[in-house]
Homo-oligomer: A and B are copies of this chain.
Amino acid sequence: MKIGIIGSGNVGGALGTRWAQAGHRVIFGSRNPASDDMRQLAASAGSTARAASFREALDAAELLLLATPWPATRTVVEGLGDLAGKVLIDATNPLLPNLSGLECGTTTSGAEQVAGWARGAKVVKAFNTVGFNIMANPAFGPERPVMFYCGDDAAAKQTVRPLVEQLGFEAIDAGPLSQARLLEPFALLWISLAYAQGQGREIAFKLLRR
C-alpha cells in the first residue's frame, strides 16, 4: 500500500518507519521535505520510504496518516483540499498546549472536527492512544497491547485494521467516529500516567478477556 504521512514527527515517523519496513511504500509528508531531519527519517526507514511535500504525499498515497500537532491540524488538513475517496487515519489529539486537557469536550471530538474539515475523506481514528515509542515497538515480552480505532465507514476501517495488526497491536473496533470522544481522553490518560504520574513512557494497555 502507498501511505502518505501528513505530519512526520514522532508518531508519523514511528508508524511510517514500521510500515516501510513491512514493505509498504511510505511518503513522509512535511513542510520541509528537504530538511536534514526528513532526509534522515526517510533514509532510516529504508528504500521504500521517501520524504516529500504534503501535496506529493497526498497525491501519491492511497491512505493518509494524519499525525500533525493539534494547533497545525486544521490549517494542514484544509490545505490538502479535496480528499474524496481517501482513507485518512486521524492519530491526532486535540490537546491543550500544557497537556492539561482537551481543547474540545465530549460533545464532540478532534476526530469529528477533522472529519468536517477533510472534505470527502473517510476518517478513521486510530493510533492516538499510546506514545510513539509504543507504536515503534509494541512488544511487551509475549504480551500484545490493544489499539483502538473508530470511524463511520466500515470499508475504511477494514483497510486500517491490518495496518494496526501488522505493527503488533491487537486491533479493536471501538465503533463510530464519535467514539473518539472516548479515545481522546484515553490518550490523555496515557499521557498523564507517563508524565505527571511518573509511570514513564514504556506503558500500554492490554485487553484482558475470559
On A, residues with C-beta under 8 Å from B are: 101-102, 104-107, 140-141, 143, 145-146, 148, 172-175, 178-179, 181-186, 188-189, 192-193, 196-197, 199, 202-210
> How distant is A174 from chain B, measured CB to nearest CB, in Å?
7
Secondary structure call for the A interface: mixed
Residues of B within 8 A of A145 (CB): 208
Q: By the criterion CB–CB under 8 Å, are A182 and B189 in contact?
A: yes
Q: By the criterion CB–CB under 8 Å, are B140 and A210 in contact?
A: yes
Across the interface, A172 reaches (CB within 8 A) one of B141, B173, B175, B193, namely B193
Q: By the criterion CB–CB under 8 Å, are B197 and A174 in contact?
A: yes
> How distant is A103 from chain B, measured CB to nearest CB, in Å?
9
Q: By the criterion CB–CB under 8 Å, are B173 and A197 in contact?
A: yes
